[in-house]
């Protein structure tokens, strides 16, 4: 659990850092730099598997969607939303995971629909008066696109890993290569504005690429392999309120606090409901 908690804390601080130091800079460059750094950190694991042909395209393609396109959309959303809103809206990813898995397997049930309804009501409480000051619905749309990309990756990844029979670290290393290549091509084709960068922005970007992205995912995967599925589910839910609270208390963002907390409670209740019964049993291992 210590590994999961450490990863959650690292991710919680990244929202405020992006909003405070990288907003206004080209999101493609931010995503590209972050992914290239993460790909470099994971590069030593490339030799653990040999990929070629169709398998290589599948792994690189999954990295493009789950990390490359996801990060481009995610970073772009900060231009239109406060950091705490970005953190809160990422809480919908598990519902997309369940929905996509249900569509693939035909296993969507009433409990999942009820959980989704709770999440919608919770979001409605937060947004009943519209977006907070300075917010723009374009940010919500961009973020849901990022959530869908990450959710699709989570659904496809275990199937691909099982089908290929390769170690997770090697697969992640190759996925990051695909994501970094995608982001780099996007930047080169877009010819973005490179003004506005200073030493502090470069330092923050370097930290985000090496620590929350590379180290954070390493800690998360290591912890996930060593804890029960009930604790893993709880940890998945933990990083969102942590990120919201850090944005409020550390970075000083303003928000409709009571409505935000009430909405987050309902969405979290939906996350608990969406877990299969066996995943709520702490006596079971994953």
Domains of the chain by residue range: 2-280
pLDDT in tens, 116-150: 677 667 666 666 566 666 678 898 899 999 989 98
Confidence grade of residue 255 (pLDDT, cut at 50, 70, 90): low
Higher local confidence (pLDDT), 30 or 92? 30
- The size of the chain, in residues, is 286
- Residue of higher predicted confidence among 229 and 259: 259
* Bridge partner residues of 25 (DSSP): 23
- Give the burial class of 188: count Cβ atoms within 10 A of its Cβ; 0-12 exposed, 13-18 middle, 19 or more buried: exposed
d(CA 214, CA 208): 8
pLDDT digits (tens, 9 = 90+) for 256-271: 667 667 777 776 776 6
User: 193 — phi, psi (to 5°)?
Assistant: -75, 120
Measured CA angle at 205 (ends 8, 3), to 5 deg: 20
The model's pTM is 0.79
What's the rounded mean pLDDT across residues 172-195?
87
Q: What DSSP element (H or E) covers 213?
A: none
């Amino acid at each position: 659990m210590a590994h999961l908690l450490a990863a959650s804390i690292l991710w919680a601080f990244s929202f405020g850092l992006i909003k405070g130091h990288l907003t206004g800079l080209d999101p493609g460059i931010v995503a590209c730099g972050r992914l290239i750094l993460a790909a470099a950190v994971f590069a030593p694991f490339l030799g653990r598997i040999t990929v070629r042909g169709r398998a290589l395209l599948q792994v690189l393609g999954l990295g493009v969607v789950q990390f490359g396109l996801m990060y481009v959309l995610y970073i772009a959303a900060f231009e239109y939303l406060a950091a705490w809103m970005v953190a809160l809206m990422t809480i919908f990813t598990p519902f997309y995971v369940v929905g996509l898995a249900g569509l693939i397997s035909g296993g969507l049930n009433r409990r999942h629909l009820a959980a989704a309804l709770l999440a919608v009501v919770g979001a409605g409480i937060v947004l009943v008066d519209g977006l907070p000051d300075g917010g723009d619905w374009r940010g919500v749309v961009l973020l849901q696109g990022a959530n869908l990309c990450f959710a699709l990756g989570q659904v496809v990844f275990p199937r691909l890993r099982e089908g290929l029979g390769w170690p997770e670290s090697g697969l992640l290393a190759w996925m990051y290569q695909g994501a970094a290549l995608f982001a780099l091509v996007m930047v080169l084709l877009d010819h973005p504005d490179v003004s506005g960068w200073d030493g502090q922005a470069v330092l923050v970007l370097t930290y985000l690429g090496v620590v929350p992205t590379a180290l954070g995912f390493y800690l998360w995967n290591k912890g996930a392999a060593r804890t029960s599925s009930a604790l893993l589910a709880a940890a998945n839910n933990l990083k969102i309120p942590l990120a919201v609270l850090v944005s409020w208390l550390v970075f000083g963002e303003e928000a409709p606090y009571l409505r935000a907390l009430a909405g987050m409670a309902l969405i979290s209740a939906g996350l608990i409901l969406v877990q299969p019964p066996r995943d709520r049993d702490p006596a079971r291992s994953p």
